[in-house]
Amino acid sequence: MKKMRKMKRKFARAFALAVLGMAAVWAVTARQGDFEIKHGVLVKYRGNAAEVVVPAGLTAIGERSFSECDKLNAITLQALKPPVLTS
């Protein structure tokens, strides 16, 4: 019985740490100031978020806009009409 309680406590601690770790990752989101936009074209993303929501109103996304984003794993577009990818 004691062994089972001890295992439950360890599991609860490990679960809490995992949830806190995920919350820390989720907290890293793109800020409006992280985007360099010129004439409706996303020229550069300067943030370090894992998930980026690209603002609506873009007409194009530059070829190397996300070139230095090592942590990036998801991009969401808010535009009703997808922007063109430029080269």
Greatest extent of the chain over all pairs of C-alpha atoms, in Å: 68
Res 77: pLDDT: 85
Q: Flag whether pLDDT at 8 surpasses 70.
A: no
Res 29: pLDDT: 54
Res 22: pLDDT: 43
CA distance 10 to 2: 12
- pLDDT (average), residues 52-66: 88
CA distance 16 to 60: 42
- pLDDT (average), residues 53-67: 88
Q: How many CB atoms lie within 10 A of CB 52?
A: 22
CA distance 77 to 17: 32
Res 11: pLDDT: 52
